[in-house]
Structure 1
């Protein structure tokens, strides 16, 4: 920093000396660009060093253990269209439609276009600027003006002018270059942001679809149980008429039917809400997917789940790449803020013709031209440059913290998703055994009730236990499928670097 201040003082002292010695002003201006070029060689580009984080050693050990005991998990490359692992054509079609019509994705694409235009503006500032001008003016001066006193004519006259103007900032200390680098990094951040939205939308579509199929499966099971409950009502009525049952049996059986119908009403409401949620994700009005998403079973669990290797997580999660791009932009902003302390040199010139009569514009004597360098040196800005540098450095620290938070969050999400997947698989086995035993208990209770060796209460208890087991098993199957969705969402599945284009993906910079 001392060298930095010394260079500023050197340039300021030189220019003050030039201002004092006006006799040598023209030669000095000619030498100033050469001196500035030599000084510019001392400037260094801002280095980009992403923050380093301690590796999640304990989590990696647990991950390896899970992969070893789960035959479905492999370390093969992460698939971009991971939802196809479920083998569900309806889900695949919904994902394809969402990727084309989701409004969040369209907004993210518009933000990419916005960032691309900002990059174009930043790059345009580094190029020579050329403009044409033409003017006409009719003017006269007052007879009492000082110019008239010294003999200037007071009659009105015309002035015609045509010409070209050109300017080019030399950007010796990289101010414009750093602004361009910042805009380019922001463009990459916007592109990775669009990829993050794509991952999120793909996960939301799959999650909502699986919840819908789980709810529809619950409806099917509940309707089957309602039929059984209605059959028990008929059986209780028949036994009451024959004098071998009581009104308690009939009332209990009818109450059971009413409870099941109430449950069905709740499930139907959940089904309709999930269908509307899918329609919203696809950018459609409510109820447009009702016919398309008629009742169907829950997709089976994938038999093969490629999850990649931990070292690739930073390149497979677009939010991590987005945070890294924002960090690069913050570093470039610091470089631009530092370069703002130094003088700016621009080459300007104009060439044209000017005449009092329009017919004289083509005359050689009407020509005019001007050419020369313009040097701008900030001497006193009221602390604006220092505060701008402090602001850029603070934003750089914030970007570094955001990068660390994103990486740490990714590690946690992957670990939580793997744990949920392993837990739901174990839970499914236990619930399957509970369902088998409850089905056996219900069969025994129904035979006993028909033979008169058991009361109706035992039948109701056994049937309710079976219904609860069926519901829990469906919930577990749904949760198992959702754990796969969470896993691929945590791993960053659902996007492909090739979709972003070569101009927005430059992994070599990291």
Structure 2
């Protein structure tokens, strides 16, 4: 037998594949609409509070800092923010979704490439002595049968179906990436919000303890005056009721502080009470920055990952239309097989044992019962829904930023007025206590001013806490908390 090189065996198959690949490159087109990036219109946004809030802290149009929480100058807050990026379980789940989308993109991209496989088989076989083939004279003795070969298939992407599918998968990966970054923005805001609420609650506890000291001192004074026949039982009962009310508020604030510490521990992926040692010691509410950088309106859409996610989802929905339209066209592929088969394994290397087949395959949808038409209608409807969702996301972002700017300015104005009210109530209590001790005033005046002071202290502390929270909301609305210019891996 004459053996021939393997390259001579593969040559006919390779030539046919090469010719058809050239034809595919020359005639390929892509059906379906090309994606055009929509205009968000956010360049018209006004990143300033309304004119009636003039006099608030100045707004700077410098770039929004990625680590905006550093503006509070609180090392413990900065530590918690860094820990959350490594240990938050929801963020890890979002990262895992990116890995899934990346793998799906790889699967979709494989449709653009040929598929090659190898196979080998062996069988010991014999036909029936009473069968049809035996009647025709075929031998019925058992024999061995060996096969070995390679199979290749390749669908020519003449209408861009695989390219549109790959485009959609890439856009879906991008959307999943921005979904993680949107969660990162929310996580940063939640960490800061929870931490600041803890500090605000601790300040409320400190106020309540100070007022308990005042209430205890007042109760001692009233009881002393009652023993001397100067005060009445009404005054004594009122003083005791005031002290009990303060003690009840302390219990409530203590429970709220503990719940907030557990909430922060959950955000960090820690078990309950894991942060008690770090947070139980009271610390003042972080001070506000003297200047608030908010960036420029034209960059707002690029800083908000939820807008970028909605845009990527619109891109994926647009690419799906091309896939649905390509299903109406013929699908042409190439299929080839080369190998050898023989009854003896030693004959597999012989040229006479060779076999090969190569040729095109054509699939043409003729009647699908309206399935393809309705699938196209479905993808077009989903694309319209994605476009509306993008517009809604942009509009919601615009409202969030505008409301956050006004809330930031209004909270500063409120804090100034509450600070004035606190100073006046403090002076009023001093005057009322002095008058009561000297017998020139009644206890009702002391009780009233004491309650007013407690209320003003509580309101002032709440306002200070809310001022920091409005700044958190502002930077969340501005899309701060992720690296806009960095790679989203």
Shared fold per TM-score greater than 0.5: yes
Does residue 97 (structure 1) correspond to residue 86 (structure 2)? The answer is no
Distance 1:252 1:224 in 2: 18
| 1:128 counterpart residue number | 114
Stretch deviating more after TM superposition (30-39 or 432-441): 30-39
Aligned partners of 2:193 and 2:469 also within 8 Å: yes
1:80 partner SS: coil
Instruction: Report the Cα offset of residue 242 of structure 1.
Output: 2.3
Alignment of 1:90-489 (within 5 A): 90-294=76-280, 295-489=282-476
CA spacing shift, 1:301–1:32, aligned 2, 3 Å: closer
Please state how far the C-alpha of 1:254 moved relative to its aligned partner. Answer: 1.2
Q: Is the 8 A contact 2:42 2:298 kept in 1?
A: no
1:495 is the counterpart of 2:482: yes
Distance verdict in 2 for CA 1:360–1:374, change over 3 Å: same
Task: Mark the runs of 5 or more structure 2 residues left unpaired by the alignment.
Answer: 1-16
The answer for the alignment partner of 2:72 in structure 1 is 86
After TM superposition, give the deviation of residue 349 of structure 1 in Å: 1.5
Deviation at 1:277, TM superposition (A): 0.6
Partner of 2:10: none
8 Å contact 2:32–2:323 — kept in the other structure? no
> What CA distance in whole angstroms lies between the structure 2 residues aligned with 1:236 and 1:158?
113
CA distance in 2, matches of 1:361, 1:49: 57
Contact 2:302 2:484 in 1 (8 A): no
Deviates more, 1:359-368 or 1:220-229: 359-368
The alignment covers a number of residue pairs equal to 472
In the TM superposition, residue 344 of structure 1 has moved relative to its aligned partner by: 1.7
Equivalent pair of 1:51/1:404 in contact (CA under 8 Å): no
How far residue 39 of structure 1 moved from its aligned partner, in angstroms, is: 5.3
Cα distance between partner residues in 1 of 2:473 and 2:294: 12
Whether the aligned pair in 1 keeps the contact of 2:31 and 2:325 (CA below 8 Å) is: no
Q: What are the Cα deviations for residues 438-475 of structure 1, in whole angstroms up to 9, with x where unaligned?
A: 01100100110111111111111111100000000011
Partner of 1:48: 35
Higher RCO (C-alpha under 8 Å, 6+ residues apart)? 2
In structure 2, the residue corresponding to 1:79 is in which secondary structure? coil
How far apart, in 2, do the equivalents of 1:453 and 1:34 lie? Answer: 108
Change beyond 3 A, Cα 1:310–1:191: same
| Whole-Å separation in 1 of the counterparts to 2:339 and 2:188 | 60
> How far 1:63 sits from its partner (Å)?
4.3
Query: Shift of the alpha carbon at 1:113?
Result: 0.4
Shift of 1:129: 1.4
What displacement does 1:311 show?
1.2
The 1:227–1:30 alpha-carbon spacing in structure 2 relative to 1, beyond 3 Å, is closer
**Deviation of the 1:145 alpha carbon:** 3.4
Indicate conservation of the 8 Å contact 2:414/2:463, yes or no: yes
SS at match of 1:497: coil
Partner of 1:18: none
Give the SS at the match of 1:292: helix
> What CA deviation, in whole Å up to 9, does each residue of 1:111-144 have, x standing for no partner?
0000000001011121121111111122222334
How far is 1:366 from its partner? 1.5
Structure 2 counterpart SS, 1:274: helix
Q: Secondary structure at the match of 1:100?
A: helix
TM-score, normalising length: structure 1: 0.88
**2:245 match: secondary structure:** helix
Q: Contact between 1:327 and 1:400, CA under 8 Å: does it hold in 2?
A: yes
**1:288-343, Cα deviation, whole Å (9 max, x unpaired):** 11111122111111212110111111100000000000000011111111111111
- Given that 2:143 and 2:343 are in contact with CA atoms closer than 8 Å, whether structure 1 keeps it comes out as yes
CA contact (8 A) 1:191 1:500 kept: no
Per-residue deviation at 1:55?
6.0
